[in-house]
A and B are shown apart, each in its own frame.
Chain A
């Protein structure tokens, strides 16, 4: 939306509730007599008491003309501003107007006051009303309707309350990104609906995000809506898997994410709401609703939203993102399709080789002992990490040692062994060979968790690789 043209000549923006504006009211009267002056009043069209004061109590013209201070005096030619001065300065005003005696007897200088259009109380509403960012359909709830119940009724919730995405809140959310509101970020499965920055912001408001989280949510939406990640399959499968979000880089600390105690649990706003915002986008934009395209047999708690940061500062190793080729100065989000975390309980093993074997024992059982070739997260806790650090093991050493321990002898996992039909089909030539538990390139090792406790964790994957889902990392653009 473009701004209505201003009248030619001198244009002043004032408010009565400003001592400087009150002070210069006689000056405005003098200017009105001497030249073509139009005054816009932000709070009282009866102020100043000169004819033809324009009412700008809606603050639309103040907002559209980026008035930050009152008084502001502008020169307008052919409907366009050519110059402006702010506050009161005798010399400036005389110079600007060419009237030598203007403001005789008044103080030399007064700074003026803040424009109502930049008052925090009004700024978001003005951005929502007059900004060109908001294009989404507006829905008005009836007076008697409880907005929270109305949003449940419309199917917009994952079962928990959602914050009403008022235009003001969405405008504030959009301040968290430099991307234009109408940028199309991705095409969201299963309905293959295009999603804009604005629509993501709406769902981020509902999830409870702060504006500074929005770039992470946008990057996560981009990441899951790739062919590689295969969000449609991740959603539609009967297996209880979910997108799991791992955040690396400076933004973790800037937005206060948790990488420590209770890292996969509740209690941190950024962790809890970023993952939830992604899931609400899948639900509300993509149409991914449980019982419809979401066919999960059991689901899992992480489907409400599962997002955490890596503890990079406390780790002797390169971060996950660095190991994937990203600079530590860049923030990233990595999405992984996985089951719920399972605990790797080892309170006794001190040496790194034994501890690696201990971790491998649990990983071998991820999903099922006879399922191989799947992607896996290994989340090492600080006390376990100390064992590797003290022994001088780096990430590469650990990953190599762990991978070598995850070669599974096929003869023990063939179909029918021990009466269990699940397993590797016989007759395909795998007898006597080994198969890797973890797909090559599918091992994601992160350092997370509270300072005390000898419990690492692992997340098994889903159908991994090009036939299913591959972890995807996207850089977070502010």
Chain B
């Protein structure tokens, strides 16, 4: 069950955490590809992977156990600590 809390701040900052700054170039970076376990997501990601490699990126592949739930904390942690950028793929 998710928890809802009341904002303890003066609410001048956005409630969502800010995204990391986008990289100028992917060359030399490690890019994570997260398959959310929707059918044929792997087909799409295979193509993305080959294009990323041609841009000089290193690719690591990850898969969520189920598309119906957010990625487990441990998986998010692993992606956050081992990748410079991540692409989350949805295919339907």
Contacts and interface: CB of A to CB of B under 8 A. Distances in A.
B63 to A, nearest CB: 16
A15 B72 CA distance: 42
A166 B6 contact: yes
A206 B9 CA distance: 12
Contacts of A153: 17
A139 B73 contact: no
A243 interface: no
Contact of A203 (B4, B8, B73): B8
Nearest to A128: B6
A139 B13 CA distance: 12
Given A142-B2, A142-B70, A144-B69, A206 B8 contact: yes
Nearest to A166: B5
Nearest to B6: A136
B20 interface: no
Contacts of A103: none
A330 B58 CA distance: 70
A144 B9 contact: no
A139 B4 contact: yes
B11 A166 contact: no
A403 interface: no
B54 to A, nearest CB: 34
Contact of A147 (B3, B6, B17, B76): B3
B8 A156 contact: yes
B10 interface: yes
Contact of B6 (A146, A167, A193): A167
A156 B70 CA distance: 24
B24 interface: no
B7 interface: yes
A194 B4 CA distance: 23
Given A140-B2, A141-B3, A191 B10 contact: yes
A188 B1 CA distance: 35
A199 B17 CA distance: 21
Given A153-B17, A154-B17, A193-B12, A138 B7 contact: yes
A170 B4 CA distance: 12
B15 interface: yes
A61 interface: no
Contacts of B5: 138-139, 141, 147, 151, 164-166
B52 interface: no
A266 B76 CA distance: 38
A9 to B, nearest CB: 38
Interface string A272-296: 0000000010001111000000000
A390 interface: no
A202 B6 contact: yes
Contact of B15 (A139, A144, A202): A139
Contacts of A280: 8
B3 A144 contact: no
B10 A287 contact: yes
B71 interface: yes
B90 to A, nearest CB: 17
B4 A166 contact: yes
A141 B15 CA distance: 11
B66 to A, nearest CB: 12
A400 interface: no
Nearest to B7: A137
Nearest to A143: B2
Given A142-B70, A143-B70, A144-B72, A199 B4 contact: no
Interface string A129-162: 0000010111111111111001101101000000
A191 B12 CA distance: 10
Interface in A321-335: none
A146 B9 contact: no
A138 B4 contact: yes
A165 B3 CA distance: 10
A142 B75 CA distance: 14
A144 B5 CA distance: 15
B8 A165 contact: yes
A287 B71 CA distance: 32
B71 A285 contact: no
B10 to A, nearest CB: 4
Contacts of A191: 10, 12
18 contacts: A136-B6, A136-B7, A137-B11, A139-B15, A141-B4, A142-B2, A143-B70, A144-B73, A147-B5, A164-B5, A166-B5, A170-B6, A188-B10, A191-B10, A193-B10, A203-B8, A285-B8, A287-B10
Given A136-B11, A165-B8, A195-B10, 18 more contacts: A138-B4, A139-B6, A139-B15, A140-B3, A141-B2, A143-B1, A144-B71, A145-B2, A145-B73, A146-B73, A151-B5, A154-B17, A166-B3, A167-B6, A188-B10, A202-B7, A285-B9, A285-B10
